[in-house]
Amino acid sequence: MKGIGRFAGNPTLRRRHASTVGHAAAGATRYRFAVFALIVVIALVNYIDRGAISYSAAQITSEYGFDRAGWGAVLGYFGYGYMFGALFGGALADRLGAKRVWVIAGIAWSAFAIAMIWAGDIGIAVFGGSALTGFATIRVLFGFAEGPAYSIINKTMSAWASPSERGFAVSIGLLSTPLGALLTAPVAVGLLLLTDSWRTMYIVLGAAGFVLIALFARVYTNRPEDNPRVNAAELAQIQAGRPAQNALAAAAASALPWWSFFRSKTLVFNSIGYFAFIYVNFMLLTWTPKYLADEFHFTLSSLWYIGMIPWTGACVTVLLGGRISDWLYRKTGKLVVARSWFAAAALTCTTLCFLLVSQAQSVWTVIALMTLGNALNALPNSVYWAVVIDTAPTRVGTFSGLMHFIANIASVLAPTLAGILSAKYGYSSMFVATAVATAVGVFAMLQVRPGVGPDVGRRDARAASA
């Protein structure tokens, strides 16, 4: 009776417990992987929406007369909203549940993607003839709507993945970053070539977002135990090992206010490490098409495949990194090795690649080094999110949002600084700045001790991560 008592308040769980034997014989369902796949597809559209503007550079700058620094500002405005969207999105996911926030955010970013078609004209009509101000307004709102996505991904994966597959599950969600950037090139260029209109491109992307969010609302539940497509055997797999791994961290985190995040050396330095990742990501996403067109004279018709190349390796390493991190943890039993040291090593190699890019002269050498550097940068992507789950499992949404907020200073800084530096010193300077950002990330990740949260006096947590 003791075993059944824990299901007393949940009829769904009582039914599943009663039929465990039958389900076990039939085997576990694998619905969690369908959830992971749907999250990836939604996040892909989210990412293509934000990256498509880079391939519209020639049309938009010609229409509104933006110079290189002005174009960098247009690209950077997205980040101002994105930072705060990430911050509030994580907290709202903890309060309202991931599903509700996914739906609200998805509807909003799809609407603002479509609103991009009027951005410049709104500025001219409303803000004294300033198209730049119009783009600033819409881009900030667009960024705010897209900001919650990756914090909610972490919340979703923490609910639907077991601890033993958590690193890989998070990396599946984060696959949308390099894959979205890779697909942005053929999707955006394809729509531009088919329609000869950057405005039509945004209408199509916004409509796709609405369709996917409607599907998501029908099939997703915040908890696997509430979903009729998950049987008892799969639920047991998802929940296996959670109490043993998270008991100490959860007990401490449940009483912590949001501001206790800043009392954790681990969480703060982990955010700085993630800043380095995002800096690389946004610099490449926003400036690669224009850089290749200006320096090596690629046209739009060739950028659809050239623009994909720097992201090909990252699509593999973002998945491989989660596996490597989980393997290191199983092998050593030390989270500091599996998370911190692993990330620091990858960022060190990334730094070297971008320093070499700044000196390269051949287009294919540049593309090869960008591809390698981006692949190495993506390798520990899941680590930053897994550290939050390892350290504060009951504050995943809020603390993921805070991490995302801090790190996404890079989403403003990278495109804006790249525009200023390239206008004054040439394009090589933006790669040097990228190497500096990743070097800072190396130092930060060496300070991270996963599992040691705001209550730094917990001996057991220190021992587990030592």
pTM of the entire predicted model: 0.81
Residue 459 has pLDDT above 70, yes or no: no
Q: Note the pLDDT of residue 404.
A: 84
Q: Residue 423 gets which letter from DSSP? A: H
DSSP-assigned states of every residue in 352-410: HHHHHHTT--SHHHHHHHHHHHHHHHHTTHHHHHHHHHHH-GGGHHHHHHHHHHHHTHH
Q: How far apart are CA 182 and CA 376, in angstroms?
A: 16
Task: Report the first-to-last Cα separation within the chain, whole angstroms.
Answer: 40
Confidence of residue 241 (pLDDT cuts 50, 70, 90): low
Q: What are the backbone angles phi and psi of residue 148, rounded to the nearest 5°? A: -70, -15
Query: Looking at 133-137, 151-155, 317-321, which range is the least confident one?
Result: 151-155
Confidence of residue 308 (pLDDT cuts 50, 70, 90): very high
CB 188 within 8 A of CB 55: yes
Amino acid at 234: E
Q: Note the pLDDT of residue 5.
A: 44
Query: Looking at 76-80, 245-249, 279-283, 419-423, which range is the least confident one?
Result: 245-249
**Mean pLDDT confidence for 356-376:** 97
Three-state secondary structure of 238-281: HHCCHHHHHHHHHHHHCCCCHHHHHHCHHHHHHHHHHHHHHHHH
Q: How far apart are CA 442 and CA 55, in angstroms?
A: 31
- The tokens describing 283, both together, are 């610099």
Mean pLDDT is highest, among 158-167, 317-326, 332-341, for 332-341
Tens of pLDDT, residue by residue over 60-73, are: 999 999 999 999 99
Q: Print burial letters for 208-223: b (CB count within 10 Å at least 16), e (below 16).
A: bbeebbeebeeebbbb
Spatial CA neighbour of 98 closest among 89, 107, 86: 89
Alpha-carbon distance values, 145 to 79, 156, 408 (Å): 11, 18, 14
| Residue found under tokens 């998070």 | 170
- Domains, the chain, in order of start with CATH, read 30-235+245-465 (1.20.1250.20)
> Is 197 strand, coil or helix?
coil
The set of residues, in sequence order, having a beta carbon less than 8 Å from that of 445 and lying 6+ positions away, is 269, 270, 273, 340, 341, 343, 344, 347, 380
CB 160 within 8 A of CB 32: yes
CB 168 within 8 A of CB 389: no
Confidence of residue 10 (pLDDT cuts 50, 70, 90): low
Tens of pLDDT, residue by residue over 283-302, are: 999 999 999 999 999 998 89
> Is 208 strand, coil or helix?
helix
